[in-house]
Chain A
Amino acid sequence: MKKFVTHRGTAAPLLKINIDTDAIMPSREMKTVSKTGLGKSLFASWRFIDRGTDQEKLNPEFVLNQQEYSQASILLTGRNMGCGSSREFAVWALVDFGIRAIIAPSFGAIFFTNCIRNGLLPIVLDEQVIASLADYVALNPQANQLNIDLKTCHVIGPDGMTYPFELQSGFQVMLLEGLDAIDVTNKLGKEIDAFKTTDIQKRPWAYLN
């Protein structure tokens, strides 16, 4: 998994609440089992007009199609970001597109974990803070970049203001070191076996042969 330690980049505002994973990655765009090459489908319904037809073109209104945000690597969104379907394709598409962090007042729980597992940092900040960051960035998106430091868990705004955020330390370490969750758990093989030995006595009915 790709490490996340610090990141500096352009932040694009997508200040809508309840952005669902169908919007991030429409099901019709998931054409193979593969995790790669999905960036071209990111936000397909909003990014393109007449998608999949001869008339297909970029929607000039959509933020990521605007010149000053085309290199964005951070998203600023409304609350309940990534709600809905568990499809990890949504996160694979964001990562493939080049998004490294998403800042939102809250996230869908499954989406949040999917982000962590793929080296994309989900950051929870207050809605007002996000609105003011978006305003500041909008003055000059390419110059007014955001800095993110995961070691200290801070977002540093273009004006030098710092905003602390919280992340469970297990997730923080996993991202800082780029660890694979399965490798980490496999080190606990003895504990897992010990649990099962006891559990099968307690709940024999839960075990199928």
Chain B
Amino acid sequence: MKYTLFDKVWNDHVVTQQDDGADLLHIDRIFLHERTGSAALASIEEGERKIKNPAHVFCTMDHIVDTFPGRTDQTTMPGGSEFIKVTRDLSLKGNITLFDLGDERQGISHVVSPEQGIALPGCTVICPDSHTCTLGGLGALATGVGSSECEHALVTETLRFSKPKQMRVVFAGQLKSGVSAKDMILHLIAAYSAAGGSGYAIEFAGPAVDSLTVEARLTLCNMAVEFSAFTGIIAPDDKVFEYLKGRPYAPSGESWQQAKEYWGALSTDDGAHFDQEIVIDCATISPTVTWGTSPQEAISIDGQVPSLVPENGDARRSMEQSLAYMGLKPGQSIQGLPIQVAFIGSCTNSRLSDLRIAAAILKGRKVASGVRAICVPGSTQVKQAAEKEGLDQIFLNAGFEWRESGCSMCFYAGGEGFVSGERVITSTNRNFEGRQGPGCRSHLASPATVAASAINGAITDSRKMGAL
């Protein structure tokens, strides 16, 4: 029998099979945050239930906390401190590990989880957050769930899933210079739609994926949910093992050897069955930017906003609404479109490698006048590492704000946000209506594109920046 990587991890977690084909899977790691984890913890409290294995449960403050220097439990978001307080109290009561404000391990859950060695290859990881699929970049079977499902996993250490179909997305060849993992995933979603992965677990494979750094693989898998996939996963290799070695919650000593032996078998067997396979020639991928209000509404940076789809149905209505919201017309070039805000942050693109790429473009340059530029490192550790390299000074000298770690303005929760009608170039994952502020227009792009656009005050191809 030939198995895929996903089969192997899935099969090793099946506790029982239901009559209707759903499997009860063992859940190895649970990560919570104060936004939706608080609801799960509160529900456990109300139902007088207990967390079954607190040693496997971690929690961070990322969604609601402010990212201003000198932040406290008080938040610019109305009611935010209740989420923080409930999470803190119930984490303590449940005896789970909390990366609280002021803790050097605090940060965005999906940045912290690999950084601390909590998510591991061959493990199941859930979090009440849709971007949990990020951790597939390490070879974990990771998926986002709702608060009720999270509560189920906390109380039983299991969750019921129907095994999804499987798709392999092969990135053939190598990426052109100046093209990143963010461009790969936006390109895929633009080509196959935001529902293209619906019902599938996706294995990302091929030479270009092998060549990606671990951090870039996390970016690629992060937006599997924007493709509507159950999750994304990449076979773990020596780069992943090297990345994890010595991290606080990663196995060590004899346990490390046992883990490595197990992880070494985590790849798809030759001839294993996939329900669908997509091959993308990396030569066709350029820096990619969204123009609309769905991640599928993305084009090459030298492209134009497409013409309206001819059929007069749901798709046409949605496209018309997108164009109206974004203040754009079919045929318009995306390059050169003036922006008012540049944002670097989020679980998609806020790791050290992302900040280095942006800093390389910003070094010795200034953000265009009238543009507000913000960098929010993905974790406190990323922030400290960046500061050690002097990246903070490059961002600050260029005119960027340099923040404390958190999800920040990846989404608007009623506190800080951008202004209606403002055009934002952003390294985040969602360009939905109002995502970063009511009426605000978000264009998703890579950190390189965001940095270059900040300098020019307009959407810019970073490859054309040239030498100083």
Which residues of A come within 8 Å of B, CB atoms? Answer: 15-18, 20, 22-23, 26-33, 35, 45, 51, 78-80, 83-89, 91, 106, 108-110, 113-114, 117-118, 127, 131, 168-170, 181-182, 185-186, 188, 191-192, 195-196, 199, 202-206, 208-209
Contacts and interface: CB of A to CB of B under 8 A. Distances in A.
Nearest to A13: B314
B322 to A, nearest CB: 9
Given A28-B413, A170-B22, A78 B259 contact: no
Given A27-B412, A109-B230, A17 B314 contact: yes
Contact of B39 (A33, A118, A188, A191): A33
Most buried by A among B78, B129, B151, B228: B228
A22 B148 contact: no
Contacts, number: 205
A17 B196 CA distance: 13
Interface of B: 12, 15-16, 18-22, 24, 26, 28, 35-36, 38-39, 42-43, 47, 49, 55-56, 77-79, 82-83, 86, 120, 122-123, 128-130, 143-149, 151-152, 155-158, 160, 162, 164, 194-195, 198-199, 225-226, 228, 230, 249, 251, 255-256, 258-259, 262, 294, 296, 313-315, 317-318, 321, 411-414, 417, 430, 432-435, 438
Given A15-B317, A32-B79, A168 B21 contact: yes
Given A79-B314, A181-B148, A192-B26, A168 B20 contact: yes
A184 to B, nearest CB: 9
Contact of B128 (A86, A131, A186): A86
B313 A131 contact: yes
B195 A18 contact: yes
Contacts of A78: 314-315, 317-318
A204 B262 CA distance: 10
B188 to A, nearest CB: 15
A113 B432 contact: no
Query: Which 9 A-B pairs rank lowest in CB-CB distance, beginning with the nearest?
Result: A28-B414, A78-B314, A205-B259, A205-B251, A114-B146, A88-B146, A31-B79, A80-B195, A169-B20
A35 B46 CA distance: 12
A16 B148 contact: no
A175 to B, nearest CB: 13
A19 B249 CA distance: 38
16 contacts: A17-B195, A28-B412, A28-B413, A85-B411, A86-B36, A86-B146, A106-B198, A109-B198, A117-B146, A117-B148, A169-B20, A185-B24, A188-B24, A203-B122, A205-B120, A205-B256
